């Protein structure tokens, strides 16, 4: 059985944890969908350019961990207003591995119902900057794999599917 986002109550929401183990563990616990986990890990393997890619040099590893800790604090303290800065947030999400990107989109969407709509407006637009395209393609990949329901639920899922459908028609 798959546990959708709509089934989670506010009191059941997990605190944010951006460690690789915790992010994969989150998807394993909340979805129990082996296909999703395999899909995420396959996408991460091609994210060699991402700042948090697993093969980071040891000297850079500490810097990456500090960055992720800072990002965690910013998201936690600002989640209620992140819908106001979808482009800036997309610039950050695009430089993370797919798993962390989708985890953060899910985390923010659960806590800020306005965020999926504003992200959708940005993705629907004619923006051709590499960062927006990267996030758009990641969502398209989930759409094609029919796994968007593992990230979004209810009205949020319908909105994202509507957006992704507009790209498949183009």
Give me the pLDDT at residue 169, please. 44
Domain extent listing, the chain: 5-168
CA-closest candidate to residue 109, choices 157, 69, 64:
157
* Residues 39 and 47: beta-carbon distance below 8 Å: no
Note the residue count of the chain. 170
- Determine the Cα–Cα distance for residues 166 and 145; give it in Å rounded to an integer: 17
* Residues 110 and 5: beta-carbon distance below 8 Å: yes
Give me the pLDDT at residue 164, please. 54
- Determine the Cα–Cα distance for residues 119 and 57; give it in Å rounded to an integer: 33
Give me the pLDDT at residue 29, please. 79
- Determine the Cα–Cα distance for residues 130 and 117; give it in Å rounded to an integer: 21
53 burial (CB, 10 Å; 0-12 / 13-18 / 19+) is middle
Give me the pLDDT at residue 104, please. 96
Give me the pLDDT at residue 162, please. 60
Give me the pLDDT at residue 81, please. 98
- Determine the Cα–Cα distance for residues 109 and 47; give it in Å rounded to an integer: 23
Tokens 């798993």 label which residue?
99
**How many other β-carbons are positioned within 10 Å of the β-carbon of residue 141?**
17
pLDDT in 10s for each residue of the chain, 170 residues: 222 344 444 445 788 999 888 888 887 876 667 777 888 888 888 898 899 987 555 556 888 999 999 999 999 999 999 999 999 999 999 999 999 998 999 899 989 999 999 998 999 888 899 999 999 998 888 777 666 665 655 565 566 556 555 544 44
- Determine the Cα–Cα distance for residues 122 and 61; give it in Å rounded to an integer: 32
């Amino acid at each position: 059985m798959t546990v959708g986002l709509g089934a989670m109550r506010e009191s059941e929401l997990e605190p944010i944890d951006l460690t690789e183990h915790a992010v994969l563990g989150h998807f394993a616990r909340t979805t129990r969908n082996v296909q999703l986990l395999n899909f995420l890990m396959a996408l991460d393997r091609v994210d060699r350019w991402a700042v948090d890619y697993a093969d980071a040099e040891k000297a850079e590893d500490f810097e990456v961990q500090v960055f992720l800790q800072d990002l965690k604090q910013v998201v936690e303290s600002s989640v209620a207003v992140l819908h106001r800065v979808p482009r800036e947030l997309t610039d950050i999400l695009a430089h993370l591995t797919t798993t962390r990107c989708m985890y953060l989109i899910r985390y923010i969407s659960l806590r800020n119902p306005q965020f999926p709509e504003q992200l959708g407006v940005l993705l629907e637009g004619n923006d051709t900057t590499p960062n927006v395209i990267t996030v758009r393609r990641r969502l398209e990949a989930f759409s094609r794999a029919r796994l968007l329901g593992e990230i979004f639920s209810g009205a949020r899922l319908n909105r994202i599917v509507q957006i992704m459908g507009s790209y498949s028609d183009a």
